[in-house]
Amino acid sequence: MKFTKMHGLGNDYIFINTVEQHVEDPSSLARAISDRHTGVGGDGLILIQPSERADVRMKMYNADGSRAQMCGNGIRCVARYAIEHGLAAGPRLRIDTDDGVKSVSCKLEGGIIASVCVDMGKPSLDPAALPSTLPGDRIVEYSLRLGKHEYTITCVSIGNPHAVVFVSDLEPVKLEVLGPQIENAPEFPQRINTHFVRVDAADHVTIRTWERGSGATRACGTGACAVCVAGVVTHRTERIITAALPGGALQIEWADDDHVYMTGPAVEVFTGDWPVPEPTRHNSQNVPGKPLSEPRP
Nearest CA among 202, 190, 203 for reference residue 161? 190
**148 in Cβ contact with 157 (< 8 Å):** no
Active site residue: 77, 155, 220, 228, which one?
220
> What dihedral angle (degrees, nearest 10) is formed by the CA atoms of 209, 192, 121, 15?
70
Active site residue: 71, 77, 117, 225, which one?
71
Nearest CA among 138, 72, 144, 133 for reference residue 104? 72
| Catalytic annotation present for 77 | no
Q: Which amino acid is at 203?
A: D
| Catalytic annotation present for 71 | yes
Q: How far apart (Å, rounded) are the C-alpha atoms in residues 113 and 86? A: 14
Q: How far apart (Å, rounded) are the C-alpha atoms in residues 19 and 55? A: 12
Q: Which amino acid is at 22?
A: H
**167 in Cβ contact with 199 (< 8 Å):** no
Residue 215 CB neighbours (<10 A) = 17
Active-site residues: which are they?
71, 220
